[in-house]
């Protein structure tokens, strides 16, 4: 099994839209972990892309997430790959074969996007505790399906420490401070 490598990774944050988030189970924690992932990605030189489902109807991502994204892809398909995500990833980090994905709703847009990335030949890690659905049962079903489809299910700290790989990493203390600040 592949290890995540910071120099081969991109982070995709799917549809943390302000109108949707009040309905998401554990929304505050899910959003906080997405922001933490993005801040650590920036510290490690990893590109961060966002997506928004039908922003004309559902509005933009919450500001804390949108501010961390180098670009945000507006989409109408539930699978962001159908609206240009693979090309956006290629532009952000040419040759990046590893994609860390988190988002909402876990069983709809995030799952379909992760499956689309798998079909496009990317190695995909799905951050379970930074993804949300309205119902925990839908979230759990999405994680099972994604694992069966070949995505690796991880937590935000698994991602961060795997990206660092070594406590002697020059940005270790910066990332550790982000983790400690998040509680």
Q: Where are the domains of the chain?
A: 6-182
- Indicate if the pLDDT at residue 130 is higher than 80: yes
Over residues 129-146, mean pLDDT: 98
What pLDDT, in 10s, does the model give residues 9-57? 999 999 999 999 999 999 999 999 999 999 999 999 999 999 999 999 9
Supply angle C-alpha 27, 181, 62, rounded to 5: 35
User: How would CATH label the architecture of 6-182?
Assistant: 3-Layer(aba) Sandwich (3.40)
User: What global pTM score does this model have?
Assistant: 0.97
- Indicate if the pLDDT at residue 1 is higher than 60: no
What phi and psi values does residue 4 have, to the nearest 5 degrees? -70, 135
């Amino acid at each position: 099994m592949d290890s995540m490598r910071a120099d081969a990774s991109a982070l995709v944050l799917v549809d943390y839209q302000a109108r949707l988030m009040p309905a998401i189970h554990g929304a505050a924690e899910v959003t906080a972990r997405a922001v933490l992932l993005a801040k650590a990605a920036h510290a490690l030189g990893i590109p961060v892309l966002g997506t928004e489902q039908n922003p004309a109807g559902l509005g933009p991502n919450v500001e804390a997430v949108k501010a961390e994204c180098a670009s945000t892809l507006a989409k109408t398909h539930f699978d962001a790959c159908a609206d240009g995500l693979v090309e956006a990833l290629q532009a952000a980090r040419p040759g990046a074969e590893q994609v860390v994905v988190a988002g909402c709703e876990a069983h709809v847009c995030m799952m379909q996007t992760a499956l689309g990335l798998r079909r496009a030949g990317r190695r995909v890690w799905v951050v379970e505790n930074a993804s949300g659905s309205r119902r925990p049962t839908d979230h759990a079903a999405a994680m099972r399906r994604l694992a069966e489809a070949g995505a690796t299910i991880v937590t935000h700290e698994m991602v961060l420490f795997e990206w660092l790989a070594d406590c002697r990493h020059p940005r270790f203390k910066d990332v550790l401070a982000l983790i400690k600040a998040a509680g």
